[in-house]
Structure 1
Amino acid sequence: KTLYKGSGGGASEAGLKIDALYGLRWGTLEVRFHDSGGSDHWQGVPKMPKGSLLLRDLGYFKVGDFQTVAQAESFFLSRLMHHVNVYLDAEGKQEMDLLSHLAAMAENEIQSLKVYIGQKHLFEVRLILQKVPQAVAEHKRHKLKTDKQNKRKNLSGRRLELCCANCYITNIPEEMVADSQIMVLYSLRWIIEILFKAWKSIDGLKEKMNRMKPHRFMCMLYAHMIAALMDTKLVHFFKIESWNLFGFKISELKAFKVLKPFKGQWWKALREADPQLIELILIDIADTFMRLAGKRKYSQREQYCDFYICVKSQT
């Protein structure tokens, strides 16, 4: 019996996708499982306090969800889906020629426009365009072709042409976040990629598994995910505490590696519900993080995917 269907074609007949929703400020995590054959999809909008920001990848692009977020007086930020029509007026009479507009832009130029997207009911958004260098555009096209050929899907010419730019949509006012900072803000989404890398390479969440009975598979899956989520919560806690108390930045991947030798003691302490043992282990973990899990020294690239630009306090 196949619990989760794969992509078919050259890929496996069985496959599982894990969706993760990460509350960056609060350290909350929600995961969902579904077939790998379908597109990434998160049903509806998560519960968010007023004024929160929802960052989404293209796999979760849904105009209706963005409208819901805006109506709840919160904010969203996403890349623009290649097939979405963009209009310059609220009535949808003047469609924007996005490719022509990008062709007239210089390399590394950034522009921001008020536009409208949607089908039946057009929705006003702020469109931020960043023209990338030719070498970057070619790299994006190559990566896109390689990925899609593996899944035996066709690529439209428009999608390949749009690789010449980074296109974002948001409802964040320009006076709140400048155009040049939108890319920095969106790069925080890569924290999810780092988490998945840690879960697979360090926590043992395997990319490939042997055939087994459904109940055994589900037990293994839930056991791995519970352990991974516990580790993630610990790392998140110590990242904020070390920053608030000492101005010390912790690397996620280093922290997960450092945490691995403590797992036996940690789970033993939790099973026995021994407060003193738990406290001793946490102190030991904190000390080891400070010695071995420090983030590299500041460089120009650190402005991207930097957890600390938006998290100021523990909650």
Structure 2
Amino acid sequence: MTSVTQCEAMLNHVLNERANVLARETGFVKRERKLTGASFVQVMALGHLHQPEATLDQLTQDAQVCGIQISAPGLHQRCTESAATFLQAVLTELIEQVVTVKAVPVALFKRFKQVIIEDASTIVLPAALAERWQGCGGSSPGSTEHTASALKLHVRLDLKRGQLIGPHLSAGRVHELHGPLREQLLSAGSLYVADRGYWSLSRLRELSEQGVRFCQHPKANTVFYDRQGKRIDLETALPRTIGQVKVMHVSLGKQDRLPVRLLMVRIPKEVVEQRRERLSEEARDKGKEVSEQQWKLAEWTLVVTNAAAKHISVEQALILLRERWLIELLFKLWKSQGQIDAWRSQLPWQALCELYAKLIAVVLQHWLLLFGCWHNPWRSLVKASAVVRALALDLLEVLSGISRLHLIVCKLRRRMQSGCRLNRRAAEPCLAQVLLEGLDWLLT
């Protein structure tokens, strides 16, 4: 668990000490200036945290908080290729810091050292940046967006203690399975949850060998074998009655024989229709067709896990897979409120500077959310992040030595005691309801 004092030391180390070193190493600062590397990154990141759509004039106003005087044209001139390289270097060092808080009081999480969810999100960049961040080329099917250049964010999140791992960056064309997080080992005794994009037999075997339990939906074309190596006819094995649950001990891979539990639930017709509608929409967006097997298997929820029944029941597996949506909500928060996928300038390097600054900003925002409200399962990150943005310039004072981080955290906690909770919903229970009160899994 990270203390507020330790977090303040991390902030000063990265955003003051290391920032000035990196500014010289990347060529952003070549001689002594009033606008140091530390001042530049602090104004760019915290100014955009305070106002994601900030103009250059507004950023120069924010700079006055820590006694920095610079004009809008002067700040514009500093947003160069070397500035982008510098900001990326600061982001890289920032995400290497480990910030965790006291475990959220959820009984299901106590069984695991960490509860890790993983996902990735793509940001389309100006085509002029293709040499630095290569996209997939052309335009996406069903979209007019040009993807000659794109950046992919790879993120892991520990639901138990809130640790944010990432965002690690790769070119947009890199598949999630081959992203920079692939080489980062997970702690033995942890639980790993991800969507079908991360489904890979070799990956699942690696997790098992690390002592990590996993819980994932299999792909539609996955082949299952019994313990004797005979291929299972999935169609005859599936439960026939709506609401019926069936569990089988199976193996994955004809040669690998990875032992897992296959959890199967027959779902109601209205849910099947919703799934098939989503499948059709996703296929249209990608310019593909829904396979016959995908269409057929939409009538069931299938889950594969290497965890024993005493660790994860069928209902708990469904709950955990539903919690995976939290990382998608995190990306949505970063994009809708943090505006990480939007920039004011049409100039490519200035746009990239703004993107990196906003990524630094959302990492800092997450750290403050941990100290302010992570302990509360009913927290609303959307509502709480508005409180963080309101106090963003106070963090400039901390980094300037004018104030202390614990004073900001006290303000955050007081303000987040009211108006920062998820609303209870009868029709579509929120994540806190599902975790604390269980899940009517027939309706998922």
> How far apart, in 1, do the equivalents of 2:345 and 2:265 lie?
44
From 42, 46, 60, give the equivalent of 2:184: 46
Residue 238 of structure 1 pairs with residue 238 of structure 2: no
Residue 128 of structure 1 pairs with residue 263 of structure 2: yes
- Structure 1 match to 2:382: 253
> How far apart, in 2, do the equivalents of 1:55 and 1:286 lie?
30
Residues 1:150 and 1:237: Cα distance change in structure 2 (over 3 Å): same
Residue 96 of structure 1 pairs with residue 194 of structure 2: no
- Structure 1 match to 2:352: 218
- Structure 2 match to 1:13: 146
> How far apart, in 2, do the equivalents of 1:9 and 1:303 lie?
33
> How far apart, in 2, do the equivalents of 1:72 and 1:21 lie?
17
1:192 counterpart SS class: helix
Structure 2 residue ranges without an equivalent (≥5): 1-127, 437-444
- Specify which structure has the bigger relative contact order, considering alpha-carbon pairs within 8 angstroms and separated by 6 or more residues: 2
C-alpha offsets along residues 212-248 of structure 1, whole Å, 9 cap, x if unaligned? 42x434322221111111111221232244x4xxxx7
Deviation at 1:211, TM superposition (A): 5.1
Residues 1:147 and 1:209: Cα distance change in structure 2 (over 3 Å): farther
Residue pair 1:79, 1:169 contacting (<8 A) in 2 also: yes
Deviation at 1:153, TM superposition (A): 1.7
1:44 counterpart SS class: helix
- Structure 1 match to 2:417: 290
- Structure 2 match to 1:86: 224
1:33 counterpart SS class: strand
Deviation at 1:299, TM superposition (A): 5.3
Residue pair 1:137, 1:164 contacting (<8 A) in 2 also: yes
Deviation at 1:111, TM superposition (A): 1.4
> How far apart, in 2, do the equivalents of 1:189 and 1:45 lie?
21
Residue pair 1:82, 1:158 contacting (<8 A) in 2 also: yes
Residue 177 of structure 1 pairs with residue 315 of structure 2: no
Deviation at 1:79, TM superposition (A): 0.8
1:292 counterpart SS class: coil
The amino acid that maps onto 2:369 is V
2:214 counterpart SS class: strand
1:137 counterpart SS class: helix
The amino acid that maps onto 1:74 is V
Identity in percent: 19
Residue 70 of structure 1 pairs with residue 199 of structure 2: no
Residues 1:145 and 1:297: Cα distance change in structure 2 (over 3 Å): closer
Deviation at 1:279, TM superposition (A): 2.6
Of the structure 1 ranges 199-208 and 285-294, higher mean CA displacement relative to structure 2 is found in: 199-208
- Structure 2 match to 1:279: 406
Residues 1:90 and 1:255: Cα distance change in structure 2 (over 3 Å): farther
From 215, 218, 227, give the equivalent of 2:361: 227
> How far apart, in 1, do the equivalents of 2:253 and 2:432 lie?
30
From 51, 54, 58, give the equivalent of 2:196: 58
Residues 1:205 and 1:167: Cα distance change in structure 2 (over 3 Å): same
Residues 1:6 and 1:32: Cα distance change in structure 2 (over 3 Å): same
The amino acid that maps onto 1:26 is R
> How far apart, in 1, do the equivalents of 2:385 and 2:279 lie?
30
Residue pair 2:369, 2:384 contacting (<8 A) in 1 also: yes
Residue pair 1:188, 1:305 contacting (<8 A) in 2 also: no
The normalised TM-score by structure 2 is 0.61
> How far apart, in 2, do the equivalents of 1:212 and 1:143 lie?
37
The amino acid that maps onto 2:298 is C
